């Protein structure tokens, strides 16, 4: 039995790449102790750089190490607004959940002898190749909050819907991040899948395994980015749902009502039309409200600098509109920093008493939480201690064991032919294409 670990997300994708990187860590550790073969199928050249940075890439017995840092050069955000709008759907993409066999990917996977495809992101590569597959569904926000353009505009909602319907109809197993994620899948796609094929795999960000930065590294990062003495930290791509503007509004409110001049550091890219528009609107708002000097934008930050940025900060501030759960709070806890985050029920279930919760539509709610952490060290220490207790409930070994259990089950289902049936066989599909 040969399992193809299929990855396609570039390092610049942020959280999606971190999800893949965490799974690759676990898969690399279990590969020598399973009864089936694991091979990594890499579909994007740029995404290889991420594995190179991790130190996991080898040529035979020769370890490959990166020379220098992976960098993303960002042209002015206005350049992305001037570009013609590109529809999210390629011409060959079908909007139905019916299978349209992909002869190129399907044949390539069969040439590699793949019996089960373990996709580390939501893709139709499995169903369109008529192979058994495991795939994640991170969120269904195009159904839950379609007002955000990043999940709805330019054909994105249609593409997501078609992809998730095919995954739910044909997957050997579907991965979700939480019980809330499972409930969302059943709510919207219960006509295609039941709980028997859904497995919960909670997030485990790779940063949790990184040691705390030492004094030299902290000094290097402070100098490199010319950081203020104290600041809140928000590592997030400039999608509208990330809600950077609420932080800007909270800074202005604190100065106006309390005379407090707090700082925030943003890390993340805007290299896409909607993100570039949101970035420009956020910075214009900061200027109009008189707080631009206290909004520090770093752009893309390499993984090696993230621990020091957390350590130097007063805490993570994350007024996101999206769930079900998120990785940055787990990172913040790992480096001993408190968390302020949106009080969605699914996020409260994830973080418990380890965070301060806010209303993502109310600047006053966020301002109150930021001011509390800025001045109350005992509160910050209590939140960090509570977070550490929750982290201890789910170790890396636990995460790797869940990954292995899911893979073992997927392989067993394939061996027992317990997969959803495709409407045609690959041979029939090839015959219909005249091959």
The CATH number linked to 282 is 3.40.50.2000
Model confidence at 103, pLDDT cuts 50, 70, 90, reads confident
pLDDT score of 285 more than 90? yes
**Pair 48, 148: CB distance under 8 Å:** no
For residue range 109-133, list pLDDT tens digits in order: 998 899 999 999 999 989 999 999 9
pLDDT: which is higher, 50 or 22 = 22
Residues 17 and 34 in one domain: yes
Residues 113, 115: Cα–Cα separation, whole Å: 6
Model confidence at 73, pLDDT cuts 50, 70, 90, reads confident
Residues 295 and 347 in one domain: yes
**Pair 43, 10: CB distance under 8 Å:** no
Residues 101 and 152 in one domain: yes
Residues 201, 301: Cα–Cα separation, whole Å: 27
* Residue ranges with strand state E in 159-226: 173-176, 198-200
Residues 156, 152: Cα–Cα separation, whole Å: 5
For the chain, give the percent of residues with pLDDT over 90. 69
Which structural domain, as residue segments, surrounds residue 357? 213-392
Q: What is the pTM of this model?
A: 0.91
Question: Which has the minimum average pLDDT: 2-6, 76-80, 290-294, 392-396?
Answer: 76-80
For residue range 180-237, list pLDDT tens digits in order: 999 999 999 999 999 999 999 999 998 888 889 999 999 999 999 999 999 999 999 9
pLDDT score of 66 more than 80? no
Residue with tokens 């993100």: 275
What does the block give as tokens for 396? Answer: 């890396």
Strand partners, 119: 6
Residues 76 and 154 in one domain: yes
**Pair 271, 80: CB distance under 8 Å:** yes
Residues 62 and 152 in one domain: yes
For the chain, give the percent of residues with pLDDT over 70. 88
pLDDT score of 283 more than 80? yes
Q: What's the CA dihedral at 11, 17, 22, 27 to 10 degrees?
A: -80
Residues 116, 133: Cα–Cα separation, whole Å: 5
Q: In what order do the strands lie in the sheet with 37-42?
A: 37-42, 2-7, 116-119, 133-136, 173-176, 198-200
Residue with tokens 């045609």: 424
Residues 141 and 73 in one domain: yes
Residues 300 and 249 in one domain: yes
Question: Which has the minimum average pLDDT: 29-43, 56-70, 158-172, 173-187?
Answer: 56-70
Residues 388 and 400 in one domain: no
Length of the chain in residues, anyone? 435
3-class state of residue 69 by DSSP: coil
Residues 52 and 192 in one domain: yes
Residues 57 and 121 in one domain: yes
Model confidence at 9, pLDDT cuts 50, 70, 90, reads confident
Residue 95 is given by DSSP the state S
Residues 238 and 306 in one domain: yes
Model confidence at 61, pLDDT cuts 50, 70, 90, reads low
For residue range 292-336, list pLDDT tens digits in order: 999 999 998 988 999 999 999 999 999 999 999 999 999 999 999
For residue range 371-390, list pLDDT tens digits in order: 999 999 999 999 999 999 99
Helix (H) or strand (E) holding 79: helix 78-82
pLDDT at 75: 77
pLDDT at 46: 53
pLDDT at 92: 52
Q: Is 364 exposed, middle or buried (0-12, 13-18, 19+ CB in 10 A)?
A: middle
pLDDT at 89: 55
pLDDT score of 402 more than 80? yes
Residues 222 and 247 in one domain: yes
Model confidence at 17, pLDDT cuts 50, 70, 90, reads confident
Residues 394, 205: Cα–Cα separation, whole Å: 12
Domains identified in the chain, total number = 2
* Residue ranges with strand state E in 319-372: 339-342, 356-358
pLDDT score of 69 more than 70? no
* Residue ranges with strand state E in 249-330: 264-267, 295-297, 315-318
What does the block give as tokens for 297? Answer: 């934008």
Model confidence at 14, pLDDT cuts 50, 70, 90, reads confident
Cβ-based neighbours of 77, under 8 Å, separated by 6 or more: 270, 276, 277, 279, 280
């Amino acid at each position: 039995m040969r399992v193809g670990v299929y990855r396609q997300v570039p390092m610049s994708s942020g959280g999606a790449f971190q999800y893949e990187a965490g799974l690759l860590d676990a898969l690399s550790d279990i590969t020598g102790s399973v009864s089936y073969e694991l091979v990594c199928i890499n579909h994007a050249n740029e995404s290889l750089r991420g594995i190179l940075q991790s130190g996991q890439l080898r040529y035979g017995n020769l370890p490959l190490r990166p020379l220098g840092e992976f960098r993303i050069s960002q042209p002015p955000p206005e350049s992305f607004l001037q570009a013609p709008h590109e529809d999210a759907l390629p011409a060959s993409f079908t909007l139905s959940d019916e299978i349209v066999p992909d002869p190129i990917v399907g044949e390539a996977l069969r040439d590699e002898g793949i019996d089960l495809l373990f996709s580390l992101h939501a893709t139709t590569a499995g169903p369109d190749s008529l192979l058994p597959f495991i795939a994640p569904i991170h969120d269904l926000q195009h159904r839950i909050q379609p007002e955000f353009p990043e999940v709805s505009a330019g054909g994105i909602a249609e593409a997501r819907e078609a992809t998730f319907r095919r995954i739910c109809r044909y997957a050997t197993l579907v991965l979700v991040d939480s019980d809330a994620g499972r409930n969302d899948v059943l709510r919207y796609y219960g006509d295609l899948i039941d709980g028997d094929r859904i497995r919960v795999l909670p997030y485990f960000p790779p940063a949790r395994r990184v040691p705390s930065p030492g004094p030299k590294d902290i000094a290097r990062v402070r100098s490199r980015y010319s950081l203020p003495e104290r600041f809140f930290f928000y590592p997030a791509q400039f999608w509208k749902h990330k809600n950077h503007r609420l932080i800007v509004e909270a800074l202005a409110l604190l100065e106006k009502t309390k005379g407090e001049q707090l700082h925030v550091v943003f890390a993340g890219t805007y290299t896409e039309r909607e993100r570039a528009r949101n970035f420009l609107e956020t910075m214009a708002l900061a200027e109009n409200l008189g707080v631009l000097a206290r909004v520090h934008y770093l752009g893309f930050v390499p993984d090696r600098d993230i621990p020091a940025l957390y350590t130097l900060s007063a805490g993570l501030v994350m007024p996101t509109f999206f769930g079900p759960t998120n990785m940055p709070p787990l990172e913040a806890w790992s480096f001993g920093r408190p968390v302020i985050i949106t009080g969605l029920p699914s996020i409260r279930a994830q973080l418990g008493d380890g965070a301060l919760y806010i209303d993502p539509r109310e600047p006053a709610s966020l301002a109150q939480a930021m001011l509390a952490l800025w001045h109350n060290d005992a509160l910050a220490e209590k939140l960090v201690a509570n977070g550490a207790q929750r982290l201890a409930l789910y170790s890396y070994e636990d995460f790797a064991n869940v990954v292995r259990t899911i893979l073992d089950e997927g392989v067993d289902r394939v061996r027992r032919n317990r997969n959803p049936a495709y409407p045609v066989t690959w041979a029939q599909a090839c015959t219909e294409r005249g091959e």
